[in-house]
Structure 1
């Protein structure tokens, strides 16, 4: 194995401690029924997200749909080919944010669930609805999401990043010989 890459001008890997508590995932996915039989349609969040942007607001990041228990702030919402992708930051200076972070890191909780008001939906023949437009109020971290694919996919942790950085430094030192 060659060690050329160790002396190259390739970009450095850096882990920023201020990324701690950043979470991302899918709050809803297209075309899959939830436990109520509702099926989300791509574009159903677009008007609501635009209204939030125009008003300078954003949907809340709550624990289990409890408006008295915010745990962080959502920083981005994107409707992509899979669903409504979200990224936010847990408030680690608050007990609820630290607790949520600990549960996420342990794998005890990883569900996401949307709190919304229906604007437009069509009843489906076998029950449930085809949800075409909603007013998005909040996205909660939950133990059991209504839609099985609505999950946190990434949790950034300073300790995980520090551990990986230490491992990479050790590997580089060993490769140098």
Structure 2
């Protein structure tokens, strides 16, 4: 079965949020959340009506490592949304990730041109596959382990004039 994986967040990588402040996550910012609320979900573009995977049904694996918050999930290649995710990520059309989170503890530094916020502890609700994430290329969504079923689905789409590459 094909998987989509990558980093939802890399520790210490900054993003400018709405031109107002710079934000980054401290290493392990989601560790407590992953213990207390492990049933994280993957959504398509933050849309709760378009779920792709979740921890509780074992289609999503997520962990905090030395680089950042790593994830891997297996979309249902029999569903239209799963096929769309596999095709869009597989072709490189969609390759960034965003996170739905709530800050619990944070530190601010106002000494620079714009304020800097470092999130040291946060609740993680979801990971979303998106076209443009706030953290840009420091996040990733890549297709790995192409399955026979995914290859058959891509062949069927190509026969119908839907390009997968």
Normalising by structure 1, report the TM-score: 0.72
**Gap regions ≥5 residues in structure 1:** 1-18, 163-177
Match in the other structure for 1:78: 63
2:163 is matched with none
Q: Secondary structure at the match of 1:35?
A: strand
The count of aligned residue pairs is: 139
Moved over 4 A (4+): none
SS of the residue corresponding to residue 146 of structure 1 reads coil
Which residue number in structure 2 is paired with residue 173 of structure 1? none
Q: Is the 8 A contact 2:90 2:143 kept in 1?
A: no
| 1:135-177 Cα deviation digits (max 9, x unpaired) | 1000000011111211114433125x98xxxxxxxxxxxxxxx
Runs of at least 5 residues in structure 2 that lack an aligned partner in the other structure = 152-165
Which residue does 2:118 correspond to in 1?
A: 130
1-side partners of 2:62 and 2:89: how far apart?
A: 20
RMSD: 2.0
Choose between structure 1 and 2: higher helix proportion: 1
Which TM-score applies when normalising by structure 2?
0.77
